[in-house]
Amino acid sequence: MKTFDYRTATGLADGLEPGAVFLAGGTNLVDLMKLGVATPDVLVDVNKLPMHEVTDLPGGGVRIGSGVRNSDLAADRRVRTAYPVLSQALLAGASGQLRNMATTGGNLLQRTRCRYFMDATMPCNKHRPGSGCPARDGDHRNLAILGGSAACIATHPSDMAVALVALGAVVQVDGPGGQRSIPVTDLYQLPGDTPERDTILDHGELITAVDLPEVPFATRSAYRKARDRASYAFAVGSVAAAVEVKDGLVSDVRLAFGAVAPKPWRALAAEAALRGQPATRENFQAAADAELGEARPLRDNAYKIDLVRNLTVSVLESLTGQVTR
C-alpha cells in the first residue's frame, strides 16, 4: 500500500487539497488501496462530522445522513415501514459485519468489482484511460448489458442505490462550489469515452445526506436479487419495485434494475408501459421487454435479459397479489 497521511475532518475544507479523499466506513476504499488501485495522498476521516441521523423532512419523507451505517438504516422503523424496498436492499447487500461499518454515502460511491478494474496490473480505462477494456473480449459474464460503451462495460455494485433510484431519492452535496441537490439517478454518469469518472461529483464535494421523498405506495415495495450463491455475494441481476393497483389497473409504479449497467438503472420505459394497464403477468413481461429491448449483451452475459425479465415479473406478481406459476 502506498504511504498516505491521515487526518480527522473538522469541516468540508479539510478534503480540498489535491490527492485527498474522504474516508467513512472504508469498506471499499481500503480494499482498493491494498490492491494499489486507489492511491490517495491523504485520507480525510469524516466520521466525526454530524451526518449520522435519520430525520423526518418537513414536507414528508425522511433525510438520511450520509454517515448512517447500513445496518442502522435497514433497521430504522420509518424505513422498514414506509420504504421496505430500501430495507430489503440493504439487508441483501454485503455481510452483517460490513453493513455495520458501511455508510450511506460510501455505499453510493463504491466502485465496480469488475476483475480488470480490481487488478492494478491489468489494462483498464477506469484507472488508466486509453489502456482499453479487456472485459469486452474477456470475462464479462457479470458486466453490463445496458448503458455500456466501447470504453467500459463495468456494472455498479450497490444494492442500496437501486432502491434509492426507484424511490426517486435525492443526494445533498456540499463542497467548494456550495451546496447542491442531485437526484440519485443523475449522480452517476455512463462511461461513454470518459469511464474514469463514475459520478458528476467534483473534487472536494461530499455527500452529506440522502433525501427520500414521500411515496405513499412505497409501502408496497420489494427488492429481489439474484446472485451466484445464497451467502454474501454481489448481484448478477436485481429489481427494486413499488406498485399501486386500483380497480385491477396499475395506477403508478417505480422500477429500477441493478447489476445490468454502469449505474443503477431506472426502468422508465417499463414504468410507462405498465401505467394504466391491467396488473397481469403478460403486461409485466411486456413492460420488462420494453426496457430490455435496448440491451446490448456480449458473448457471455445475454442470460441477464431473461434473468431480469423473470425477476421483474416475480416481484410485481408478489406485490400485486398475483400467483406466480
> Domain of 274?
220-320
- Rounded CA-CA distance 85/299 in Å is 32
Does 316 fall in a domain?
Answer: yes
List, for residues 65-113, the tens digit of each pLDDT value. 999 999 999 999 999 999 999 999 999 998 989 999 999 999 999 999 9
Judge whether 107 lies within some domain.
Answer: no
Q: What is the pLDDT of residues 211-245, one digit of tens each?
A: 999 999 999 999 999 999 888 899 999 999 999 99
CA 151 to mean position of chain CA atoms: 21
Q: Which amino acid is at 163?
A: A
Is residue 49 situated within a structural domain?
no
Residue 309 maps to which CATH number?
3.30.390.50
Q: Is residue 86 part of a domain?
A: no
Which residue type sits at 224? R
Cell of 303: 442470460
User: Phi and psi at residue 295, in whole multiples of 5°?
Assistant: -65, 145
Instruction: Give the total number of structural domains in the chain.
Output: 1
The C-alpha atoms of residue 201 and residue 213 are separated, in whole angstroms, by 22
- Total residues found in the chain within this entry: 325
Q: Is residue 125 part of a domain?
A: no
Residue 239 covered by a domain: yes
> How far, in Å, CA of 36 to CA of 283, rounded?
48
Task: Quote the strand ranges of the chain, DSSP E.
Answer: 5-8, 20-23, 42-45, 54-56, 62-65, 170-175, 178-183, 206-212, 221-227, 235-246, 249-258, 265-266
Q: What is the pLDDT of residues 148-168, one digit of tens each?
A: 999 999 999 999 999 999 999
Q: Is residue 261 part of a domain?
A: yes
Domain-embedded: residue 288: yes
